């Protein structure tokens, strides 16, 4: 289905684009910081983006079913409920 592409290859291929775009946004946000704090800020943001991408990829790889998960807001009390095809969680 993925033309013999390993999951880690797909994650790296897509993740590098996501990371680059997020880092560009972080670079714009860093313009408001003092110069001695910019490098630290970008390192922390870059690490956070990597962790987020890898964690999201792991959840996607190990999920039994990627479709059928919906978030519904109950209008009566405002509680969020996660529903799957099998029922509420």
Distance CA 61, CA 71 (A): 20
- Asked if the structure places residue 54 within a domain, the reply is yes
Range(s) of the domain holding residue 73: 7-88
Q: Is residue 57 in some structural domain?
A: yes
Q: Look at residue 2 and tell me if it is in a domain.
A: no
pLDDT in tens, 42-55: 999 999 999 998 88
Residues 6+ apart with CB under 8 A from 57: 7, 11, 15
Q: Encode pLDDT of 3-44 as tens digits.
A: 788 877 888 888 899 999 999 999 999 999 999 999 999 999
Report the number of distinct structural domains present in the chain: 1
Q: Is residue 32 part of a domain?
A: yes
């Amino acid at each position: 289905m993925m033309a013999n592409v390993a999951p880690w290859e797909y994650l790296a291929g897509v993740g590098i684009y996501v990371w680059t775009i997020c880092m560009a946004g972080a670079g714009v946000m860093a313009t408001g910081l003092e110069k001695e704090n910019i490098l630290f800020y970008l390192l922390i943001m870059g690490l956070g983006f990597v962790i987020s991408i890898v964690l999201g990829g792991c959840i996607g790889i190990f999920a039994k079913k990627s479709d059928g998960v919906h978030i519904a807001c109950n209008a009566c009390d405002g509680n969020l409920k996660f529903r799957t095809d099998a029922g509420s969680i």
